[in-house]
Structure 1
Amino acid sequence: MKKRVIIWTSIFTSVLTAMATVFGFFVTNKLMYMKKKEYDFILNREITSKRLDEVWYNTVNKTEQWIESKNGYSLKAIFLEPLQTNNYVIICHGVTENKINSLRFVRMFERLGFNTVVYDHRRHGDSGGKTTSFGFYEKIDLQSILEAVRERAGEQAIIGIHGESMGAATTLLYAGSIVDDADFYISDCAFSDFEDQVYHIMTQTTPIRSSLAIRFANLFLKIRDGYTLNLVSPIDVVDNIEKPVLFIHSLQDDFILPKMTKDLYEKKNGPKKLKLFEIGEHAKSFNENSEEYEQVVADFLLENNLLNK
């Protein structure tokens, strides 16, 4: 009888371990290798929606550049320079997108007096990198991008960073935990804590309601990609940012909840501004409110003496 109990206990433990392992690999694969949108799909979507002016893009002065990341791979960037100015805004796209998606913001910044730089995050578009880390490694890539822009523009130039979704989280993580060396930041629909975000998505898309799943994800992420979810937490570092931050979100966003941006805004010290749009799903504040969006950005820059400097 005792021997039988030991055998069944061993079988049960083995099955449980196997299930946990399969689950851990499944969840981390979903995160690390999230399915990306095809280049042609993004391009056609932006052209069809008239957010990308093909004639302007084909004729504007632009330079493609490979920038070496401190993480050990190359990042593909495009410097768009319609203006005779050394002031630039770096635009960071969201997960599954690429630099083509960032082009919808460049005409706005041109009207506000800035040239722009768009680039592909690691594992996106033309850039290197094997996994997506939602800001953990991307923030180090962003440091390399800003250093290249500063070298091109000079120390007196005004340089801002605009990020959307994962790009916004990356922006805040960079400024709050590496170096606060841009002149301003715009955070559009960032998550405040990635652990909370993953749990939110899990409860919305699966029957899983246990935080034990997060523990498994953390264990396997640490083993497979060298970090845990709690290390991707803009809310923990946003109060280190001294430069002005504009926080943007749409109240209709049910993917990354607007409360996350409200929390980030409350935690940020020093100059800051918050805009919550009534209309717009996730990462669509600009698409649905383009004129008001531009006015909010212009007011933010004016309030912080960053226009026509």
Structure 2
Amino acid sequence: MKKIWITLTTIIGVIIIGLFGAGMYFYHVAVVPGHKDFLAKTTKLKTSDPLYRQKKWFITSKKRLWFETTTDGLKLDADYIPAAHKTNKTAIVAHGFMSRKEEMGAYAAMFHKLGYNVLLPDNRGHGDSQGNVIGFGWLDRLDYLQWARQVVKKNGTDSEIVMFGISMGAAGMVMASGEQQIPQIKAYAVDSPYTSVEDEITYEAKQQYNLPKYPLVPITSLITRIRAGYSFGEASAIKQVRKNHKPIYFVTGTADTFVPHYMTKKIYRADHSSKEMWLVPGAAHVKSFSKQPKAYQQHLKQFLAKYVH
């Protein structure tokens, strides 16, 4: 009998150690900044790119460097591009997972053409900003609001701010919408946000590794809670958008296999503010702008004109 208990204890111990090891592996894959094999590599700018003109403009545009210090002491970095003509309108533009501000050049050009000042932050743990973990939008939501307050401080209390993001930046902006807002934030616009970090990690575990949610996602979430300060379940765009009172414009592509469009639809349904959604036929993940550049800009322009003057 004693031998049986020793054997069972050993087996249970091996399973626990194995699961913890797997959880640590997926924690480093998902939450620790660094190269990710499952992400497409950034390609050089090509004249065949539908957004070539916008990206080229961004490369040559004059930028000012802004800094922000987070509540937990990280120094964040951002590029600021003033509008061609003096204005009180500013767009804060947030990038996606393991991206950086330089890859948001086409969106910066779009907002600049619409007459906005543009602020492009590097998320914590990305680009030139400090940080040893990826916030998946949850930690970043408060950082975005700090950037908005800095815009008001530097550009004046009559500032009118649009909060924009793609993918992880979009989810982070939706999460920010559920926090206490400054009056200068007039509207949000988001392209392909996920419903929650838990939903997205579960989806990717299935897509990338053909793994079910249990037990690895909860284990990885527990490790994230201990090491990064948040759990996957609490990082919910759905829960946050239910507290939102600002207008939001949603964009998503029907061919998105990274953040499937049903997630954006679910967030849209949970939002009770003034809202609109554009479902772009055949667009892959955050490819709606490159697929329909003129329509993308026009849709945003028409929506924002109702709230930003």
TM-score (norm 2): 0.91
Q: Which residue of 1 aligns with 2:196?
A: 193
How far apart, in 2, do the equivalents of 1:4 and 1:47 lie?
71
Aligned length, in residue pairs: 301
Displacement of 1:278 in angstroms is: 0.5
| Aligned 1:171-250 pairs, distance under 5 A | 171-179=173-181, 181=183, 182-250=185-253
Q: Which residue of 2 aligns with 1:256?
A: 259
Work out whether residues 68 and 75 of structure 2, in 8 Å CA contact, stay in contact via their aligned partners in 1.
yes
Work out whether residues 58 and 105 of structure 2, in 8 Å CA contact, stay in contact via their aligned partners in 1.
no
Displacement of 1:248 in angstroms is: 0.5
How far apart, in 1, do the equivalents of 2:75 and 2:43 lie?
22
Q: Any gaps of 5 or more consecutive residues in structure 2?
A: none
1:20 matched to 2:19: yes
Work out whether residues 46 and 104 of structure 1, in 8 Å CA contact, stay in contact via their aligned partners in 2.
no
Displacement of 1:43 in angstroms is: 7.6
Displacement of 1:36 in angstroms is: 4.3
How far apart, in 2, do the equivalents of 1:43 and 1:207 lie?
28
Work out whether residues 123 and 129 of structure 2, in 8 Å CA contact, stay in contact via their aligned partners in 1.
yes
1:87 matched to 2:86: no
Q: Which residue of 2 aligns with 1:117?
A: 119
Displacement of 1:116 in angstroms is: 0.5
| Aligned 1:1-309 pairs, distance under 5 A | 2-36=1-35, 42=42, 44-45=44-45, 49=49, 50=52, 52-54=54-56, 57-58=59-60, 60-81=61-82, 82-179=84-181, 181=183, 182-302=185-305, 304-306=306-308, 309=309
Work out whether residues 88 and 115 of structure 1, in 8 Å CA contact, stay in contact via their aligned partners in 2.
yes
How far apart, in 1, do the equivalents of 2:165 and 2:175 lie?
11
TM-score (norm 1): 0.91
Structure 1 residues 111 and 73: CA distance shift in structure 2, 3 A: same
Work out whether residues 94 and 167 of structure 1, in 8 Å CA contact, stay in contact via their aligned partners in 2.
yes
Work out whether residues 89 and 116 of structure 2, in 8 Å CA contact, stay in contact via their aligned partners in 1.
yes
- Report SS of the residue matched to 2:233: helix
Higher RCO structure, 1 or 2 (CA under 8 Å, sep 6+):
2
Deviations, residues 161-190 of structure 1 (Å, cap 9, x unaligned): 111000001101111134364111001000
Deviations, residues 219-239 of structure 1 (Å, cap 9, x unaligned): 211122121101110101102
Percent of matched pairs sharing the same residue: 24
Q: Which amino acid is the alignment partner of residue 237 of structure 1? A: Q
How far apart, in 2, do the equivalents of 1:133 and 1:125 lie?
14
Structure 1 residues 134 and 47: CA distance shift in structure 2, 3 A: farther
- Report SS of the residue matched to 1:122: coil
How far apart, in 2, do the equivalents of 1:141 and 1:106 lie?
19
Q: Which moved more, 1:221-230 or 1:157-166?
A: 221-230
Displacement of 1:77 in angstroms is: 0.9
Structure 1 residues 177 and 92: CA distance shift in structure 2, 3 A: same
Work out whether residues 86 and 157 of structure 1, in 8 Å CA contact, stay in contact via their aligned partners in 2.
yes
Q: Which amino acid is the alignment partner of residue 79 of structure 1? A: Y
How far apart, in 2, do the equivalents of 1:22 and 1:238 lie?
35
RMSD: 2.0
Structure 1 residues 180 and 262: CA distance shift in structure 2, 3 A: farther
- Report SS of the residue matched to 1:297: helix
Structure 1 residues 105 and 228: CA distance shift in structure 2, 3 A: same
Q: Any gaps of 5 or more consecutive residues in structure 1?
A: none
How far apart, in 1, do the equivalents of 2:212 and 2:142 lie?
33
